[in-house]
Amino acid sequence: MYFNNFITEKKIDEMLKKLINLFFPDLCLGCQNLLVNNEQIICLECRHELPLTYQWTKTNNEAFIKFYGRINIEHVSSMFYYHKKGIGQQLIHNLKYKGRTEIGNLLGKWHAQHLQNLPVFSTVNYIIPVPLHPKKLKERGYNQIDTYCESLSEVLKIPINKNLLFRQEYGISQSKKRLTERNNVEKNRFISKLETLDEPIHFLLVDDVLTTGATLEACAKALQQSDKIKISIVTMAFSQS
């Protein structure tokens, strides 16, 4: 009896999914064509067109150079280039403003596959997502970085810690500021609740887009209270503007 009910429920579930797909088909966020054959979020063709940076293959890459003379870091890499009206922008916009948190899961898995064999990640103790101010978190309902971090954590086998870094000031979007304003405003925006350390520790800071690096620099400086603390940085996208 139980088995028959299980089979019936499974068939009903499959029928409902087919009905939903009939009226609300999954479309590629890049080209708006129908997704087929287990494609997720974007189609295979658009995935191949996603402009990967391959920064993880070079130590002194363009992302690393952004932080020269600003903070000491072990590794910096972004997954893809952020171009206006490009596939990457579509992905991040839908993740950040449309509630498509599953995009973070998918991008995190893709990125982690490129990072998992790098020796530097074997020494990382915690993944730390760049935090939102509580007011912003309440407005949006979620931190767009969370699902991305969850996938990184799953593949890289590194735990996430959200109890060490906090945003103490609420401000307008970084994208609406001039470059010099970003650097000045971010200086004291983050605080760390890191206690005195007896052993060295390595944090992996994670954000969505690396532009000037002002936000990540402020986060790193809040955490980097002694020479025992090492910082690495990973982002979804890299803006060349």
Half-sphere exposure of 11 (CA within 13 A, CB side): 6
Domain 50-238 in CATH 3.40.50: yes
Pairing assessment for the beta strands 165-167 and 190-192 based on DSSP bridges: antiparallel
| Residue boundaries of the structural domains of the chain | 1-49, 50-238
Q: What is the pLDDT of residues 169-191, one digit of tens each?
A: 776 555 555 555 555 556 668 98
By the 10 Å C-beta count (0-12 exposed, 13-18 middle, 19+ buried), 177 is classed as middle
Token pair in block for residue 40: 């997720």
Number of Cβ within a 10 Å radius of residue 65: 10
Average pLDDT, integer, range 214-224: 94
Residues in a beta bridge with 128: 205
**Total residues found in the chain within this entry:** 241
Please give the order of strands across the beta sheet that includes 201-210.
75-81, 229-238, 201-210, 126-129
**Would you say residue 23 has pLDDT above 60?**
no
Average pLDDT, integer, range 44-62: 94
